[in-house]
Amino acid sequence: MKTIQPEVLQNFITAIFQAAGAPEAHAQLVANSLVAANLAGHDSHGVIRTVQYLSAIQNDELDPTAVPIVASQVGVVTMLDAQRAFGQVAAQRAMQIAIEKAKEYAMASVGLFNCGHVGRLGEWVQMAADAQMIGMGFCNGGSPGGLVTPHGGAARRLGTNPLAAAIPRAEDAPVVVDFATSVVAEGKVRVARNSGKALPAGRILDANGAPSTDPNDLYAGGMLLPAAEHKGYCLALLMDYLGGILTGAGCASLPNFRRGNGVLFMVLSIEAFRPLDAFLSDAAALSDVMRATPPAAGYDEVLTPGDPEQRTAQQRRAHGIPLDDTTWSQLVEVATAHHVAAPA
């Protein structure tokens, strides 16, 4: 296990993407986003994705120089064509448009399509909360054919299809809800594989539809299970309808699907509903009630969504980001291939 300071890791990943043809601004944005995911403790969406993005560039699935363009605007609805740009570049622009429109019209939606992997969805909806608004994101996609089986099924049909929302509150970081509709994100299986660890039971099935705890089985034709059985399946299907069908991005199980994400972003202006200060105060009060709940046996305390990420980021900023040896070796290998020196 290696431990690396965030700034060192950001500069390293930025240099790799620049060497792969990305403009400096795009390379920095993507590198900072990946490292921010590591800082938050979501290593599944961190620098482990670097190799995936480089492969997408090599296979012409992703254009590191592309700039998203507005395809259409009708009232408060904007359609953004990412033109196969980095997902982070496209998602940031989509949320900027949604926030600008919501300031003017009280609410706004942006449909994002033709887009690479957007990374940690919670990062983008938090942009709205940081602007004292409510942000929501409904995302589908992944690889053609999918990785997740429907409830009761034994074949791939769905992406991990995450959803996210961010809500500001008084004198505190925003509440950030962000989770895959599969029982676990694919990237967490990737982290377990690279770390040489078994998965807990109930996460995946192997290619024959039998339960497995070996992360390698997922990449040998296996499948992820939906979260909460039929409930996660229903949410995953909803993400396909909103993030895929509505935006025109397509769905993993339908013909002619291209690898990447489709996202429907929505932003609500709180002040259009009620005074902002009153909302922020009530939002904080609700969080206080949740945190004051007596903990059950085996738990130290009750947290609110976003609390674990804030704590992990504080600890990792101080002490560095841990990376398993396999992930680090992969990064050094692709860096060498692109004539980028790895940090000592």
Task: Tell me the domain boundaries of the chain.
Answer: 1-63+322-344, 66-180+231-274+281-295, 183-225
Is-contact 51 187, C-beta < 8 A? no
Is-contact 119 263, C-beta < 8 A? no
- Residue 122 identity (one-letter amino acid): G
Instruction: State how beta strands 134-142 and 163-169 pair.
Output: antiparallel
The whole-chain average pLDDT of the chain stands at 97
pLDDT digits (tens, 9 = 90+) for 45-93: 999 999 999 999 999 999 999 999 999 999 999 999 999 999 999 999 9
Distance between CA atoms of 53 and 93, rounded to whole angstroms? 19
Give the CATH number of domain 66-180+231-274+281-295; options: 3.30.70.980, 3.40.50.970, 3.50.50.60, 3.30.1370.60.
3.30.1370.60
**Residue 288: which of 300, 302, 276 has the closest Cα?**
302
Distance between CA atoms of 162 and 141, rounded to whole angstroms? 9
Distance between CA atoms of 274 and 124, rounded to whole angstroms? 24
Instruction: State how beta strands 172-179 and 163-169 pair.
Output: antiparallel
50: Cβ–Cβ under 8 A, 6 or more apart, which residues? Answer: 13, 16, 17, 34, 330, 331, 334
The pTM of this model reads: 0.97
Residues in the chain: 344
11: Cβ–Cβ under 8 A, 6 or more apart, which residues? Answer: 31, 343
pLDDT at 344: 84
Task: For domain 183-225, say whether CATH 3.30.60.50 is its number.
Answer: yes
Task: Report the phi/psi class of residue 107: left, alpha or beta, with left for phi > 0 and alpha for psi in -120 to 50.
Answer: beta
Distance between CA atoms of 5 and 38, rounded to whole angstroms? 11
Give me the average pLDDT of each 10-residue run along the chain (344 residues).
96 98 98 98 97 97 98 98 98 98 98 98 98 98 96 98 98 98 96 96 98 98 98 98 98 95 98 98 98 98 98 98 97 98 93
Query: CA separation (Å) from 81 to 19, 123, 147, 244?
Result: 25, 20, 25, 13
Q: Thinking of the domain 1-63+322-344, which architecture would CATH place it in? A: Orthogonal Bundle (1.10)
Give the CA dihedral 314, 315, 319, 323, nearest 10 degrees: -110
Is-contact 123 263, C-beta < 8 A? no
Q: Running DSSP on this structure, what letter comes out for residue 155?
A: S
Is-contact 81 113, C-beta < 8 A? yes
**Kind plus residue range of the DSSP H or E element containing 56:** helix 50-58
Residue whose tokens read 């560095």 = 320
Distance between CA atoms of 223 and 210, rounded to whole angstroms? 10
Is-contact 117 46, C-beta < 8 A? no
Report the chain's terminal Cα–Cα distance, integer Å.
14
Is-contact 94 263, C-beta < 8 A? yes
Is-contact 186 199, C-beta < 8 A? no
Degrees to nearest 5, angle at CA 32 with 317 and 337: 110
SS3 33: helix
**Residue 35: which of 65, 5, 68, 69 has the closest Cα?**
5
